[in-house]
Amino acid sequence: MPYAVEVSGLTKQFVRRQGRKRERLVALDGVSFAIARGECVAVLGQNGSGKSTLVRVLSTLLLHDGGSAHVFGHDVVRDADAVRRLVNRVSVEASFFKRMSASENLSYAARFYGLAPSQTRRQIPEILEAVGFPTARANAPMEDLSRGMQQKVALARALLTSPTLLLLDEPTTGLDPRSKREVQEFIRSVRRAHDTTTLLCTHDMAEAEALADRVGILDGGRLLALDTAEALRRRYDAPTLEDAFLVATGRAFEEEEEEAA
């Protein structure tokens, strides 16, 4: 049985021009790991550590330079269509057509996954209710909704298509504590109710520890460690996950690297 995600020696560089000079930025540097079906893995890293690049490669939005990445045995480049049917994503920016309503945004997005109007008429109100979105606001333009409500619609958009692999790229960044807790609780409930594998990229140590079975530390495009939170604390002889991160990377979590992608 193939892994849900299997990444081997994955590399990605970006070239930036600064005047006449070309600068190479390493986004992923030989990243290898595997995620079992139904598992939740969190990847911790600063801005620019390569988290979003990893999510984009797995969601077929970026072509990597070297190595390989497979989702349920499908190569993300050669079998991109098969991968797309299995994956959905929630990113830090709840990207929508802002003048369109939550219902309209969900409706057209669901069509792209082959869901007919007869299905979405029932499913959209149900899933909005499930994520705690007030259904009375379902026809209001997205631009009139709070950031927390927009992020709930983003979760609903991803879950409407029943993804087998859910990629969460800082899904709670910028949310108020209440919205953050609601979103985290919903992620837990999805894991309990469905056979969904989750890759969670986050800044939030507590979120990683609370939601994930294993936690990875990504720094400068290199995966330094991937283990349970408890094992990481032991390995780095650190009382907290944040301390473990500090020891592993050699710098404080708040420091940022230059963002590659």
Partner 1 sequence: MRAQTIALMGVVERNTYLVKRYGWWELAFFIWTVANTLTIVFIAKGVEATGGTLDVERQTASLLIGAVIWSYLGIVFEILTETVAWERWEGTIEYTFMAPLSRAVHLVGMGAFGVLYGLLRTAALFAVVALFFGLAFPGANFFAALVLLAVASVSFVGVGMVTAILPLVSPEKGAQLGFIAQGMLLVVSGVYYPVDVMPGWMQAIATISPATYALHGIREAVLDGGDLGAIWSDLWPLLILGVVAIPAGLAVFRAGERYAKRHGKLKRSG
Task: Give backbone dihedrals phi and psi of 57, rounded to 5 degrees, phi first.
Answer: -65, -45
Burial class (CB in 10 A: 0-12, 13-18, 19+), 260: buried
Least CB distance to partner 1 at residue 63 (A): 5
Binding site for partner 1 (CB under 8 A): 14-15, 53, 56, 59-63, 81, 84-85, 87-89, 91, 93, 95-100, 104, 107-116, 141, 157, 260-261
Which stretches of the chain are assigned E, i.e. beta strand? 5-18, 21-35, 40-44, 66-71, 74-75, 87-90, 165-169, 197-202, 214-219, 222-227
Q: Cα(71)–Cα(76) distance, rounded to whole angstroms? A: 7
Three-class secondary structure of residue 24 per DSSP: strand
Q: Report the chain's terminal Cα–Cα distance, integer Å.
A: 33
Nearer to partner 1, 87 or 168 (CB): 87
Query: Which tokens hold the place of 53?
Result: 């690049």
Nearer to partner 1, 81 or 237 (CB): 81
Three-class secondary structure of residue 186 per DSSP: helix
Least CB distance to partner 1 at residue 55 (A): 10
Least CB distance to partner 1 at residue 254 (A): 23
Least CB distance to partner 1 at residue 113 (A): 6
Nearer to partner 1, 88 or 249 (CB): 88
Least CB distance to partner 1 at residue 110 (A): 8
Least CB distance to partner 1 at residue 7 (A): 17
Query: Which tokens hold the place of 255?
Result: 């420091």
The kind and range of the H/E element at 80 are helix 80-86
Nearer to partner 1, 63 or 206 (CB): 63
Nearer to partner 1, 111 or 235 (CB): 111
Nearer to partner 1, 98 or 251 (CB): 98
